[in-house]
Amino acid sequence: MDFSLSAEHELIRESAHKFGQTEIVPDLRERDREARSDRATLEKMGDAGMLGISIPAKYGGSDTDYISLGIVCEELERADSTARVVMSVHSGLHSLTLMQWGTEEQKQRWLPSLATGKLIGAFALTEPNAGSDASNLKTTARKDGDSYVLNGQKTWISLADYADQFLVITRLTETQAKAPYAAFIVNRNTPGFSSRAIHGKLGVRAGNTGEIFFEDMRVPADCMIGEEGDGFKVAMSALDHGRYTVASGAVGIITACLDACVPYANDRTVQGEPIGKKQLVQQMIASMAQGREIGRLLYYKVGWMKNTGQRHTRECSMAKWTNCAAAFDAANKAVEIHGAYGFCDEFPVERYFRNSRGAMIYEGTHEIHTIMQAEYELGYRSDKPLARMLPTWPFS
């Protein structure tokens, strides 16, 4: 058993960290205050090769393994959650799912542009009345000749105003399939498509989130991912990829909390000595370090399972559930350590607190993952290998 990272992994970490600190952090406080997202960030990430992480070279990607994707997400969220959200949505939920479920023609059609950032992808599952109850979809797809006609609404869609294409999960109105769901790649320029931004978010303020609408929107049949009836399986596979990026990103928040708290605790004095000498402050710092180390091991394991082609829904749920809770706890402690200064945006810890709370909701709430882990342990839930799995690494 080897726990060491390769030299390539370390270079990827260094590059992602440098990108986050030079391209994301400098004007972040202003963008967060103004709830202003920046489309140019996506282009910079594409130019830096980040959007091609864990995509085979034959599709225009970097040919790096799935652990590399986790490392990039960790370092980007160390800068800000908005950058990691791009990786979650574009790379995890969209590109990896297309790589897993798409035909060779579909992968050749879309992945090269996705890997370079010429196209930006997003994922559309959640609806006003279908969040944790993901099977309660109301968006419909009706077969009409060589195409499908979509009608409905999706909400809480990251990159809703920026993405060029969306992986959309729908309910089929007429089908002989055992499950009435289907997945489609939808182009935003298609007549009948529209989007609207959501404002007033607690966290991830510098990122774009919105609603998308389909009104008699016609989608060619060759844009279906998988077959009729595969839609729910495609969605759940996408969530495995998305949860992996969220779990690894959560470790970045914990690390960012330590980045802020360690120098503060050494510099801030009370009664003639640094507050870092106080045992209760040390307890909080130690808890953060514990969460960081456990979190890394959990997401490294999932990355290894992805590399070796194993089904990892249970392990990914555990990593997302554990790491997001640890990140929120770390951010809460970081605010406590900073005292009154932690309650304003002079220091970044209040932003970590707001952003980490959202991660306990999206990609499966804290309660959903609690139930999942209990059902696995009790024998009420089990996983079988899917008919279509991610390609193993090294890519052939």
Q: Is the dihedral of CA 257, 49, 205, 298 positive or negative?
A: negative
Burial of 384 from C-beta contacts in 10 A (0-12 / 13-18 / 19+): exposed
Longest dimension (CA), the chain: 79
Phi, psi angle pair for 279, to nearest 5°: -65, -35
End-to-end CA distance of the chain: give it in Å, rounded.
24
- Cα gap 64→67, rounded to integer Å: 8
Angle at 284 between CA 283 and CA 285, to 5 degrees: 95
- Cα gap 35→205, rounded to integer Å: 5
- Cα gap 9→80, rounded to integer Å: 21
- Cα gap 396→389, rounded to integer Å: 15
Report H helices in 7-162. Answer: 7-19, 28-34, 40-47, 66-79, 81-86, 97-101, 104-116
- Cα gap 280→284, rounded to integer Å: 6
Q: What is the CA radius of gyration of the chain?
A: 21
β 181-187/224-225 pair status: antiparallel
- Cα gap 342→332, rounded to integer Å: 9
Nearest C-alpha neighbor of 320 from the set 372, 238, 247: 247
Q: Which of 363, 367, 375, 377 is catalytic?
A: 363
- Cα gap 352→349, rounded to integer Å: 5
Q: Using CA atoms of 166, 172, 174, 177 in order, give the dihedral in degrees to the nearest 10.
A: 110
Q: Looking at the DSSP assignment, which residues form a beta bridge with residue 20?
A: none
- Cα gap 396→393, rounded to integer Å: 8
**DSSP 8-state symbol, 132:** S
Active site residue 363: yes
- Which positions are annotated as active-site residues? 363
